[in-house]
Structure 1
Amino acid sequence: MTLSDTPDTHPRLDHAADPAPPAQPGLTAFGPDFPFAYDTWLTHPDGLGSVPPECHGEEVAIIGAGISGLAAAYELMRMGLRPVVYEASRLGGRLRSEPFADGDPATIAELGGMRFPRSSAAFFHYVDLLGLQTRPFPNPLTEAAGSTVIELAGEAWYAQTLDDLPPLFREIAEAWDGALETVLHLGQLQQAMRARDAAAVKRIWDELVPRWDDHSFYEFVASSEEFSQLSYRHREVFGQVGFGTGGWDSDFPNTMLEILRVAVCEYDDDQHLIQGGAEQVPRGLWDRPVDDAMHWPSGTSLSSLHEGRHLGAVTRVYRTADGRLGVVDAEGEERTYRTVLASCQTWLLTTQVQVEEELFSQEVWMALDRTRYMQSSKTFVKVDRPFWRDIDPQTGRERMSMTLTDRLTRGTYFFEDGPDDPAVICLSYSWMSDALKMLPHSAQRRADLALQALDRIYPEVDVRQHIIGEPITVSWEADPYFLGAFKGALPGHYRYNERMFGHFVQKDLPTEQKGIFLAGDDVSFTPAWAEGAVQTALNAVWGIVDHLGGSTPEANPGPGDVFDQLRPVRLPA
């Protein structure tokens, strides 16, 4: 031990006079591709903008009633427009909270989005607006989970923190953190995002885009200096266990840019669930009466404008002879509009909806068609109580834990409201090839397969005796109105993403392509995250207002007003 390492045993008399370190502002999804403060725009006292008085009451078509479509509809209603919402399935999109057969609202299966990072400031604006309560999501190695079991190649480890696991896991965590810092300059970029320093964010990020657009996640891991010093087993376990929320090998083929965005925005950290179900957010926007809307009387809601019922599926969108946009629904009813927002999955614009080809450029059509969706499967059961919290008298540990495994289940999560209340187990949450293994099977067969896998990990626990009723399951790729869970961009897809994201700024488009807008997490740079859905919804709101001759307040410019300065970097054709 050197003198500098010697513990200071003498109390400092002047410590009270030391200035406290400044509080570090929380990180939000400020970019990195388009560093615009959507949360600040939303909360500014001058509002988002206005349309000319002669536009008040004008109908605007909204195709898709997920969080993106309904957030846009809500804000357009507040400006005095009349959103007309079309939805082929049910309100909420992939924020779908499915009750079990007994209808108990306290126990639901979150079939779509279920964990929301606190850095999603625009999304949480609406969560807070609706007065919804959240709590930490029981991810692996978190206090909310209590304990975690990692089981790989037939060997299991019980842990409450990373320190409880063998050294291999810390080596993986340190290699991942080191690789990110080496390549991404994570600390610098996040500091710029916290400071809302758009110029610094763009300077760092725009240099990374051309370097990493053509490279996959796996290539990044395998070629990084930090991982190249470790064994193949380290990479294999990293794929199975991952970072933050679990294994990431299903994302290994994706562009590394997509993973870098998750890391820099801390989307895999500090995730929360919404008590009572995430579907409350879009449904809350549908039902919420407003008292600050232009044109509409106090108490108006999207629901009241629709007399409680949205319109059905859209089958056709086309340009009319007088230059308006025609929308035909499944009942054959035809309406025309000056503006249309398509917030459905982009593949539906070439499968479920006959969209006139001239409404988009061939470059945009290429981007819409080449969007790649990832498969996802979940299976849930309701149980009589959170029995997994029971303590095994022999080990002193909980009977079951949040579980990550290379078996069929991949991730198993536990949800509870009280020690004696009914609870819910997500038996299996899997993606891509693991999800496809479930695709042909019934809900009961999927539950049986998951329980068989868990029997191998917990041979002393009889889960079946606690199950109440029938299981609930989902495969988003089997739903004709989704065709997949969310986008997973491949290497080389940045140009497609940039075309879709920037489409809301239409000043340079030919007349025949103006008036139709895109929104949704698959249009954003951060697919699978509700924040991307909300941000693109707000982009579309700006675009629709601009198209109708409206404007934003001088003190509160919108995303289109600053697009030329902040726009995502363009790569050569």
Structure 2
Amino acid sequence: MTLTAFGPDFPFAYEDWLRHPAGLGQLPDYAHGASVAIIGAGAAGIVAAYELMKLGLRPIIYEAGRFGGRLRSERFEGTEDVIAELGGMRFPVSSTAFWHYLDRVGLQTEPFPNPLTPAAGSTVIDLEGETLFARTLDDLPPLYAEVARAYDAALEEGANFAALRAAVRNRDPVRLKEIWDPLVRDWDERTFYDFVTSSEAFRALSFRHREVFGQVGFGTGGWDSDFPNSMLEILRVNLLGLDDDQRLVVGGVGQMPHRLWTDAPRCAHWPAGTTLSGLNGGATRGRVCALSRDAEGEIIITDRWGRRDHYGAVLVTCQSHLLTTAIRTEERLFDQKLWMALDRTRYMQAAKTFVMVDRPFWKDPHPVTGRPLMSMTLTDRITRGTYLFDNGPDRPAVICLSYAWMTDALKVLPHAAEKRVDLALQALGAIYPGVDIASHIRGEPICVSWEADENFLGAFKGALPGHYRYNHRMYGHFMQDDLPPEQRGIFLAGDGISWTPAWVEGAVQTALNAVWGVMTHFGGHSAAGNPGPGDVYPALGPLDLT
């Protein structure tokens, strides 16, 4: 069967729930038209709002910054569709719940130019001053193939990987949890680096092999920024194919939330032609400054202009740290153990630097070697990853000069865009001597440092060893029957709440969990023959380590 992001912690087929002809569920008549507040107009917020509208509720969306969240496609000035993908830019085909919405709004995709893929054409690996050119793994020295085989062997040795992957493909929740749950106990408090270095496959190799794995890796590139993370986090990425067979969205993924905003699906209660835009008067509301609860039990949202509105339910999709740094949130809205989990969430830093160039000049043959002037580039220099985006032979092209995480991202944090470009050009100049990249640049560069954005404070969650219990508390919060009344009716969603941070599929899946939670909070239930995530959670939910 096709590999999808099925589990492993909660093996529920979200795409099947979405596609079932009976729909997600229904609400009692008295709940129709009730307002629900959605904090954040990113992927989780817009997907949840879209489905809640279809159920007959009225989602009111608040956004403190830019519509779309980290689905941020920024257009270069003077163009119509030449864009820089500042947030999510590569989307694995296993993300089937996310793909449901891409298909709904008619967006097209193409293979992403990852290293050593046909979409990249060619790849250059530059480590410790040695520059290697390759089109496939077979073109590299034997050491690189040894590293790739060693990681495959480590996954099999430490995680029974083939059987685990087969259980995901076969949609076999019993077998999947039979293998996965013991891994949770074994690896929650151990790092990715520990997993690599303690494996027999890597112990038989040199430090250089581990170094190359960290700097170059395979699939999306180097892994060393994730070495301190919990191994469970990396296992999920490998298991669910999130680092394989990735695609880009033609014209920018930021189109997806915008198109859902104006899409008019068939809805309960609402007349034909109803859209999220229409229900919100054509615009989102502004920054949320405070969350509290009134004497009648409704949740009060106070926005930046002092407007106070009361809601029967609220969905929070912003980064969790904003609940203590930007939004004055009554402590009683969440249990103190959940507050611990929300505050202990650790976000990773990420920085990108893009430039537009006159054409895909990198395809020109080098006068001496005959190879392309430039290739997709992985290096230990400050740029780390350089990606090339071709929009056609006679059109402006885009270079992501640098995509860096953690310490490498912090190196450029204080610098303006022009300085970042200068640093990147210096590094690439050492790899491609004589190639005049600067002469091809047009317009102004586009850069991002997610940790410097007050609405994000980081790019995405990177769970540390011991964080499984925290993630479990956040992920399972949509199951509210056992909560005291003062904690009910406020829900959490977003990739940081999911088990797969940094992947939009996690944002979509947690949004759908919250949709089920809001639906049942208002007295609704899943459609007959199409049980929702909360209906099967008691049987299939994540392992409880408490």
Common fold by TM > 0.5:
yes
Q: How far is the alpha carbon of 1:105 from its aligned partner?
A: 2.7
Q: Distance in 2 between matches of 1:393 and 1:431?
A: 35
1:285 alignment partner in structure 2: 260
The share of aligned pairs that are identical, in percent, is: 64
Over residues 274-302 of structure 1, what are the superposed CA-to-partner deviations in whole Å (9 max), with x where a residue is unaligned? Answer: 00001111111111122x10111111110
Q: How far is the alpha carbon of 1:106 from its aligned partner?
A: 2.2
SS of corresponding position for 2:301: strand
1:44 alignment partner in structure 2: 20
1:79 alignment partner in structure 2: 55
Q: Distance in 1 between matches of 2:135 and 2:334?
A: 52
Q: Distance in 1 between matches of 2:160 and 2:2?
A: 18
SS of corresponding position for 2:523: coil
Q: Distance in 2 between matches of 1:165 and 1:111?
A: 31
Alignment RMSD:
0.6
1:92 counterpart (59, 68, 81)? 68
SS of corresponding position for 1:365: helix
8 Å contact kept, 1:105–1:276: no
1:355 alignment partner in structure 2: 329
Q: Distance in 2 between matches of 1:105 and 1:562?
A: 46
8 Å contact kept, 1:389–1:399: yes
Gaps of 5+ in 2: none
2:313 counterpart (317, 320, 339)? 339
Q: How far is the alpha carbon of 1:468 from its aligned partner?
A: 0.2
1:461 alignment partner in structure 2: 435
Over residues 129-173 of structure 1, what are the superposed CA-to-partner deviations in whole Å (9 max), with x where a residue is unaligned? Answer: 111000000000000000000000000000000000001100000
The structure that has the greater radius of gyration is 1
Is 1:66 aligned to residue 42 of structure 2?
yes
2:77 alignment partner in structure 1: 101
Q: Distance in 1 between matches of 2:84 and 2:183?
A: 39
Over residues 1-27 of structure 1, what are the superposed CA-to-partner deviations in whole Å (9 max), with x where a residue is unaligned? Answer: xxxxxxxxxxxxxxxxxxxxxxxx210
2:123 alignment partner in structure 1: 148
2:535 alignment partner in structure 1: 561
Over residues 287-327 of structure 1, what are the superposed CA-to-partner deviations in whole Å (9 max), with x where a residue is unaligned? Answer: 1122x101111111101111211100000111101111111
1:427 alignment partner in structure 2: 401
1:170 alignment partner in structure 2: 145
Q: How far is the alpha carbon of 1:377 from its aligned partner?
A: 0.2
Gaps of 5+ in 1: 1-24
Q: How far is the alpha carbon of 1:114 from its aligned partner?
A: 0.2
2:181 alignment partner in structure 1: 206
Corresponding letter in the other structure for 2:328 = Q
Q: Distance in 1 between matches of 2:392 and 2:75?
A: 18
SS of corresponding position for 2:426: helix
**Moved runs in structure 1, 4+ residues, more than 3 A?**
none
Corresponding letter in the other structure for 1:523 = I
2:135 alignment partner in structure 1: 160
1:410 counterpart (380, 384, 395)? 384
Q: Distance in 1 between matches of 2:142 and 2:81?
A: 40
1:13 alignment partner in structure 2: none
Over residues 92-120 of structure 1, what are the superposed CA-to-partner deviations in whole Å (9 max), with x where a residue is unaligned? Answer: 00010011122x13210100000000000
Which residues in structure 2 correspond to 1:213-232 (within 5 Å)?
Answer: 213-232=188-207
Normalising by structure 1, we get a TM-score of: 0.95
1:329 alignment partner in structure 2: 303
Is 1:370 aligned to residue 330 of structure 2?
no
Q: Distance in 1 between matches of 2:368 and 2:96?
A: 45
Is 1:115 aligned to residue 90 of structure 2?
yes
1:507 alignment partner in structure 2: 481
- Bigger drift between 304-313 and 533-542 goes to 304-313
SS of corresponding position for 2:407: helix
8 Å contact kept, 1:373–1:484: yes
SS of corresponding position for 1:203: helix
Q: How far is the alpha carbon of 1:393 from its aligned partner?
A: 3.3
Q: Distance in 2 between matches of 1:389 and 1:297?
A: 53
Normalising by structure 2, we get a TM-score of: 0.99
Q: How far is the alpha carbon of 1:391 from its aligned partner?
A: 1.1
Which residues in structure 2 correspond to 1:172-187 (within 5 Å)?
Answer: 172-187=147-162
8 Å contact kept, 1:175–1:226: yes
SS of corresponding position for 1:465: helix
Over residues 499-545 of structure 1, what are the superposed CA-to-partner deviations in whole Å (9 max), with x where a residue is unaligned? Answer: 00000000001111100000000000000000000000000000000
1:397 counterpart (363, 367, 371)? 371
Q: How many residues align?
A: 546
